[in-house]
Every structure is written in C-alpha cells, then in structure tokens.
Structure 1
Amino acid sequence: MNTVSCPMRGHVDNHFARRLKPREEHSLREHLPGCGACKSIYERHLLLRRLDPKSSRGDQDRLGQGLGLVRPPLPVAPAAAAFSVLAVLVLGVMATRPDPFAHTEGFTARGGAATASSEALRVYRVRPGLAAEAVGEAIRPGDELAFAYQNPRARKWLLIYGVDEHNHVYWFHPSWSDPDTNPLAVQAFEGMALHELPEAISHTFDGKRLVLHGVLSDERISVKQAEALMEGRAPSDPLPLPGAENTSFPMRVEP
C-alpha cells in the first residue's frame, strides 16, 4: 500500500496535529501494524519531534488527546473566558487524581528497590468509539492495549509481554504470532519525554491472572531467547538480563 493511495494517511497527519477523535484514533492504531507505509510516516513524525527539544510536553498532551485522555485545545473567545476558567479548574482536578500505576509504574533495575522512578511505563486500554483509559487492576480477554514509556537512562531496547498463571506468554512489543519467525526487541528512544508505541494489540488470554512485563535493556535479544530465559521461572519473575530495568503489573483477567 503506498502513501499516496492509502486513505489512512490523513489520520496519521491529523494525529500529530491533534485533530483525531477517539474512534478515529482507534482505527489508526488498528491500521498501523498492517500498513508499512503509514507506520513509516508515523515513525518519521516521531523522529522529527524527538529532534525538537520543545516538543516533549506537547508529545504528552498529543498522546493523551489521541488516546482520548485529554480534550483538544479550543479557541477561546472573550465571551467564553469564564467557561474557560471553569474548564481549566475541572481538568486540573482530573489531572490530580491518583494514577492507578503510581505504586508500580517505575522501571527498576534487577535487584534494586521496587520504588517508583521516572522511567514510567504507561498502559492504556483502547476501545472503539470510547476514550482510552489507563489500565488498573483488571483487563478482559480481547482488550486492545497501547503502551508508552520514558527512558532517561537511554537503554537501547524494549520488550513488553505478559505471562499468565499457566506460564503462557503473550507478546506485545515486539508482536509475535508466527512461530516460524523470531522478532527482536524493539528500539527504545531515550529521554524524559513520553515515547509511544503506536500499535494497540489484543490477545485472547486463557488464564485468570496475568503479569505484564516491561524490560529496558542494552542487550537486544529475540522473543525465543527471552522465552528460554523464562523457563522454570514464576510468571512474576523478571528476565535475568544483567543491568536490565524491569517493571511488572500483576492484574486479573475478567470475563
């Protein structure tokens, strides 16, 4: 599919212009994994923004808006000033609500203290036509999950996967569905800015408990190497990679 004829090209541009509605954002995230051209354009946008140091705060707003977590900017007429002040107050209250991941969201070096740090992994549930929401203590089979992370220690590679109580492994980044392939960890971009992974990915979980893992590492390993390292370990155990930064989110899988 080329970039000229693909009807979703406009969605990519509108995402970065902060003009997409949640339903359109969902459509874009469903489309990206299967369209190399649109994904390339998306990643080019991200690269250009990473080269602009002024865009880091804007990136967090753009990601939040694209996922339906914040409202788009609206022009304010003088007559609407009082309403604008009220809107700011309401959004301020929403912004100060406790983060459901405040106690576990930090990446922690293996063997280090399990305290929150700035290397946050964010997990969102994306649903058609609805605003995305931060994942709390439960997900449902088939939920589409989107991720964003921070990487101030400039680790080079990222893995995101889940393990259930049956030791079944579910891959998100890199995604893996063909047993004849062996994809490698995805590139991790450095910095305090919130870096998004554009695809929203779903799995049909067959267990009732799941531990989501995020791993930032300077060693690039494949999914098969990672699964070999998991053998004989509990679902909550991090990968035994020297110097890697691990985080885990235990959660229930509800019908």
Structure 2
Amino acid sequence: MSSTTPCDSTRLVDAHFGRGGLPPKRERALREHLPGCATCRARYERHLLLAEVDRSIPGAQERLARGLGLPDAPRIRAWPVPLGFALALGLCALVLVPRLAAPPTADEGFTPRGGTEAHGPAAEPPPVLEVYRVRDGKAEPTDGSMRADDELAFAYRNPDGLPFLMVFATDMAGQVYWYYPSWTDPDTSPTSVPARQGEHPFELPDAIRHPLPPGQFILHALFTRDPLSVHEVEARLAQQASLVGEGEHLTHLPLQVQP
C-alpha cells in the first residue's frame, strides 16, 4: 500500500493520539495494522512529531496506560532521559519457558551498564531499546529495576533500518528468557520479528511477564540484517560466539529484579 492510498484505519491512528484514546482491543488492531500500511505509518509518525511539541496531546506514558487498559497515568512530559517514546501496547501477559545457555563473559561483549555492540561502520545514533514495567495498574520506565511480578513492555528506535529484531534477557547463570519472539513450545524454533526503520519510537505489541527470580539480569536487543532463530542465538551464546555481523547491533540494558 502506497503512502497516498486511502485507508479507513487512519481514524484509529487519530484516536490513538486523541484525549479519549483507544480501548485495548482496537489498540491491538492498530498495532497489527501499522507494519503493513504505509499510509497509517506516515500518519502515525506525523502525530509523533506533533506530540513532541504539543503538550495538549496525551504523552507517551498516558497513551501506554490506555493501550494496556490501565487507568490513565498522570501527564508527565519530562522523562529521566530524552525518550519521547510513544507506546500503546495491547494487553497480553505471557509466561514463557526459560532456556539454558552459557553465562555471559567479558569476552562476549556484554556491557555491565548498558551500551551497544556493533560490527562495521558506526552509526549515529545507534538503535535503542526502551523498557517499561507494568506495576500496580501503572506503566512506567524501569529505570534499571523491576519486581519479579512486573510485566515488561518495549519500544525501539531503529534509525539504521536493520530489518529484524530479537529481545531477550540473560541472568548471571546464563539462562535465557525470550520476549521477542515469544517461545512457549520447545518443539518450535521461532525467528526474529520484523523491525521498522526510523528515529521515532515503534511499539512492540505486548506486555510480557516472565517468572524471573530475584537478581541481576541483562536485557538484549539484537538488530540484524537477516532473521535468526532462537535455537541459533542460544547456540551462539553457549559457544560464546558473536551474535552480530557487519553493520548489526546488539544493545545491552542491565536490570535488577527485586523480590
């Protein structure tokens, strides 16, 4: 669909940024529709630009809460870092099965306080993953910590336009917890999810809960040119092999899980 083709779903984009917002079911329909519709994507991105300067438009945290079916969050326009991220995620809590891999080591390229591992020419700015916790009926940035019963929601910026994304966590014992793609059936091997290009934020559609034990974790966002399977990534982790190729990015975010 070209950017000039009319689309009836543009009204959902307008409603998402309106004061009333969308109910979770229609919010999910919008999230599923956006990747395949250039008209709605362009309209959505124009709304994002306007939201960064027009304080009358509900902020990202308020839109996130509404999309998850939570009570509206207070209008907080100042973030601890300059996110400006617009999230509106469908309500979904998944309990996924953790997998075992070798523990991360210094040679593997894991950074203890966040950062991006890249191969090839550096890009400015690099891809970014933002993480939100859903707690006590509220959605808020994790700020590096969460409770074991929190759900996590994600958004990303992808200015380089790498077409595939994986989001997973590892603990200090090397256990792997998959968020995107989800992995609930050991007889399957799901692959990377499609990623969109842009400096503005793109939302991943679910809030996800893992049975995480208390302790230190690292969240990873893997941006690649070709799709990878969960088995392939876990095999590379077990072998302490690099996950990224030329021009690809692996971003690390530390996360402390409290009881």
TM-score by length of 2: 0.65
In structure 2, how many angstroms separate the alpha carbons of the residues matched to 1:145 and 1:238? 26
In structure 2, how many angstroms separate the alpha carbons of the residues matched to 1:174 and 1:59? 30
Residue in 1 that maps onto 2:247: 243
Aligned residues: percent identity? 34
Aligned pairs (5 A) from 1:148-159: 148-159=155-166
Letter in 2 for 1:126: V
In structure 2, how many angstroms separate the alpha carbons of the residues matched to 1:238 and 1:210? 19
How many Å apart are 1:110 and its aligned residue? 3.8
Residue in 2 that maps onto 1:4: none
In structure 1, how many angstroms separate the alpha carbons of the residues matched to 2:121 and 2:258? 32
Aligned pairs (5 A) from 1:227-242: 227-233=234-240, 239-242=243-246
Higher helix share: 1
In structure 2, how many angstroms separate the alpha carbons of the residues matched to 1:202 and 1:100? 26
How many Å apart are 1:207 and its aligned residue? 5.3
Q: Is the 8 A contact 1:20 1:66 kept in 2?
A: yes
Residue in 1 that maps onto 2:219: 212
How many Å apart are 1:139 and its aligned residue? 1.8
- After superposition, the C-alpha distances for 1:153-178 in whole angstroms (9 at most, x for unaligned) are 11000010000011110011111111
Tell me the number of residue pairs that the alignment of Structure 1 and Structure 2 aligns. Answer: 205
- After superposition, the C-alpha distances for 1:181-237 in whole angstroms (9 at most, x for unaligned) are 11110000001111000101110113511000001110111111111111143xxx9
**Taking structure 1 as reference, are residues 171 and 58 closer, same or farther at Cα in structure 2, changes over 3 Å only?**
farther
What's the Cα RMSD here?
3.6
Aligned pairs (5 A) from 1:95-244: 95=78, 98-99=80-81, 107-110=116-119, 117=125, 119-130=127-138, 132-206=139-213, 208-233=215-240, 239-244=243-248
Q: Which fold has the larger relative contact order, with Cα–Cα distance below 8 Å and residues 6 or more apart in sequence? A: 2
Q: Which protein has the larger Cα radius of gyration, Structure 1 or Structure 2?
A: 1
Are 2:40 and 1:49 equivalent residues in the alignment? Answer: yes
* Structure 2: gaps (5+ residues): 1-11, 53-57, 66-72, 84-111
In structure 2, how many angstroms separate the alpha carbons of the residues matched to 1:59 and 1:44? 21
